[in-house]
């Protein structure tokens, strides 16, 4: 069974949740990768994603800038928060998503201009 994956430089996930909800309801990707979430981990809107059927969530955030998140309707088996270009800010997250006995390793990262 194929995976459908969407990616979006969201530029503030909390600010844009109504648009995210519309995207998820209309297109229903199995996995959504977000960049520039601009939210510390403890304030990530997990409940909103879970309500939309995206029970599997991984995030690597910080206040004010950068930050990445991956949300999925399918199980996430592995989460690695990585340094990007030897910098400690929250720009890189890798997850393994599985379905039907197969899996894919996704690297979700933000590369600023």
d(CA 56, CA 48): 12
Domain that holds residue 55: 5-109
Contact yes or no for 71/59 (Cβ under 8 A): no
Helices (H) and strands (E) in the chain, counts: 2, 7
* Cβ within 8 Å of residue 31, ≥6 positions away: 3, 4, 5, 6, 70, 71, 72, 73, 74, 97, 106
What pLDDT does residue 89 have? Answer: 66
SS3 call for 19: helix
pTM (2 decimals)?
A: 0.86
Q: In this structure, what DSSP letter does residue 10 have? A: -
More confident residue, 4 or 52: 52
The CATH number that applies at residue 42 is 3.60.10.10
What pLDDT does residue 103 have? Answer: 83
Q: What's the number of domains the chain is made of?
A: 1
Report pLDDT digits (tens) over 75-94: 888 776 666 566 666 677 78
């Amino acid at each position: 069974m194929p995976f459908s994956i969407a990616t979006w430089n969201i530029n503030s996930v909390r600010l844009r949740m109504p648009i995210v909800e519309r995207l998820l309801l209309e297109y229903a990707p199995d996995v959504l990768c977000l960049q520039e979430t601009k939210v510390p981990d403890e304030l990530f809107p997990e409940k909103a994603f879970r309500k939309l059927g995206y029970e599997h969530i991984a995030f690597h955030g910080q206040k004010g800038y950068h930050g990445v998140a991956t949300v999925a309707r399918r199980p996430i088996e592995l989460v690695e928060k990585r340094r990007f270009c030897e910098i400690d800010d929250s720009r890189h997250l890798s997850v393994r998503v599985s379905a039907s006995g197969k899996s894919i390793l996704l690297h979700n990262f933000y590369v600023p201009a």
